[in-house]
Chains A and B, each alone.
Chain A
Amino acid sequence: MSLAFATIKQLREKLAKKEISSPELLSYFTKRFEKFDGKLGSALEIFDQKSVLANTENNSTKEISGIPGLIKDNICQKNRIASCSSKMLESYVSTYDATIIKKLKTDGALLMGRANCDEFAMGSSTEYSAYKKAYNPWDITRVPGGSGGGSAAAVAAGLAPWALGSETGGSVRLPAAFCGIVGSKPTYGLVSRYGLIAYASSLDQIGINTRTVYDNALVLSSIAGNDKQDSSTLNVGKTDYTKNLTGKLKEGLTIGIIDNALNAEGMDPEVKKLVQDAIAKLESLGAKIKLVKMPSMDYSAATYFIISRAEAASNLARFDGVRYGLRNTQAKTLNEMYCQTRKDGFGAEVKARILIGNYVLSAGHASEYYVNAQKVQILMRKELNDLFADVDLLICPTQAAPAFKIGAFDCDKLQMDLQDYFTAFVNLTGVPAISIPCGFTKEKLPVGFQIIGPHLSEELIFQTAYAYEQSTEWHKMHPAGYED
């Protein structure tokens, strides 16, 4: 068995049997980054191995102990740069650990580096990183998705067994689908955001990329739970999300298929067919399938544009050249310094989102945009609540089409934004979801689909996803050219 594509679970067994040590494992994956990441662009920095080993506790009772992983560059790790892939924070060094980083270190995880992403997590392709683009390991001429394309590309190419990302509109699930791996977005409030650099706080949530459902549940078990430092966290105690993974579906499980999503305009027929095959597979495993409609979903991208940009305009006001980050030193007055610093530090997409945010919040336009968006958001929550009265879980595509070519939407930013079409309603309603692989197109590009549940239904989602995964071979497929 190749170590590169071994799961966390398999690596832990090797560590327990002393077939390999954790410093050796770290050295092995560090070398893989050196060998392959020049063309993949998934990491902004791989830390020196000594400091990684010194920064974690020895805790062999935890499965994640001694297993290297990559952290998205908008999550604070003490004494490490946290740049959000932006020039604004190029030399910003975090003075503290995010709560989830602290938890991972306590559990003995090896935090080996910073993953590339779209600047301030704004984008769907990782082309908006201020440092370098990331590429899709299945086809290097295509994007890995975004904003967490670095996290997903690294895991898919076997450079790291797991990676953390963050989700505001689909930034973990979309890259997972584009790269043929698993990506989860937990319930809003399940995972602490203390130390996650904010984009749109009412939507932001930490997410996880792995190659298997088991590994994903395992990482969530390490980072989930109430945190006094983040008052939006829910009162949930330590939970082992792997314990329900029996390989069987829940007795009498009913799954609703969001029909208007599957038949949405512009849906790629190959992608649609693969999602239908996944539904048929779940039915053959014993799930009762029901066709349902969620009419407000067709308005979710628009609602998401408004709410996320509005909150971004407010959150990103803190980058003013005073307390940290970049400052333009030519400016003569304070106001000039603000305006020049933000001109120099932000990329085009971030600037556009701030401007849109201030537009939809401005006196003349707030009632037309922001207030209406909030109403639609409430309608969405009601529709989902009504649906979950009838079904246990919902299924929806993650993507309308396979990963697109680098530069495909350079001249059509709206099409780039619409990549969140099937994912954003999950963030707007705060429910948990997972995207798992369901096959490949004729061009050998991976496709994923989402399983979505009511608030705090992670255990049922993982159980269902695991049963599906174990009845397929998709999670065993890896991109060519990344063997040792």
Chain B
Amino acid sequence: MAKITREEVLKLAALSKIDILDTEIESILKQLQDVLSYAQRVREIAGGLPGEASIVAKAMPDMKSEAWDVKIASNKNVNVFREDVIQRTDCKEILDQAPESQDNFFVVPKIIENK
């Protein structure tokens, strides 16, 4: 796999909304690289090598066929419905957990910075 760059780590951190210190980048980069290199082995089995059917494709040639409809208990459990009824909760209890609240609202820092 391609090497992960410092820029990619910073971009991921921004996407994940986590500030990362300069001193942390190297160790995070190594951990990401190690885990992702190892995880790449799923491609061997699922994706196959060029010109060769993968192990997954050989075991289950038609992904849309019954063979894929693996009969497990939790697969039967689809579309569980319930009545759409309002259940009242005590807002105070919930708001008490908030770092900052006012009246019946959560308070956050300003969203757009003044220039």
Contact = CB atoms under 8 A, between A and B. Distances in A.
Given A303-B42, A358-B16, A382-B67, A95 B73 contact: no
A134 B52 CA distance: 48
B100 A327 contact: yes
Given A339-B19, A342-B17, A346-B18, A331 B109 contact: yes
Given A351-B18, A359-B12, A381-B70, A334 B38 contact: no
A354 B18 contact: yes
B15 A413 contact: no
Contacts of B44: 299
B115 interface: no
23 contacts: A95-B97, A188-B74, A233-B77, A295-B55, A296-B45, A299-B41, A317-B17, A333-B110, A333-B111, A336-B109, A339-B17, A339-B18, A342-B16, A346-B18, A351-B28, A368-B40, A372-B42, A373-B39, A379-B45, A379-B46, A379-B59, A413-B31, A455-B74
Contacts, number: 196
Given A336-B109, A378-B68, 17 more contacts: A295-B55, A296-B55, A323-B97, A325-B99, A332-B110, A333-B109, A333-B110, A339-B18, A343-B18, A356-B32, A359-B12, A359-B36, A378-B56, A379-B60, A381-B72, A382-B60, A431-B72
Contacts of A352: 28, 31-32, 35
Nearest to B24: A348
B70 A323 contact: no
A359 B28 CA distance: 13
Interface string B18-37: 11110010011001101110
B42 A376 contact: yes
Contacts of A383: 59
Interface of B: 4, 8-9, 12-21, 24, 27-28, 31-32, 34-36, 38-47, 55-56, 59-60, 63, 67-68, 70-74, 77, 80, 82, 93-94, 97-100, 106, 108-113
Given A348-B24, A368-B43, A456 B73 contact: yes
B62 to A, nearest CB: 13
B39 to A, nearest CB: 5
A216 interface: no
A349 to B, nearest CB: 9
A431 B56 CA distance: 21
A385 B71 contact: yes
A234 B59 contact: no
Contacts of A322: 98-99, 106, 108
A372 B21 CA distance: 33
Contacts of B100: 327
A340 interface: yes
Contacts of A382: 59-60, 67-68, 70
A362 B12 CA distance: 9
B99 A302 contact: no
A417 interface: yes
B18 to A, nearest CB: 4
A440 interface: no
B106 A323 contact: yes
A378 B70 contact: yes
Contacts of A313: 16
B56 A375 contact: yes
Contacts of A15: none
Contacts of A356: 32, 35-36
A296 B56 CA distance: 9
B15 to A, nearest CB: 5
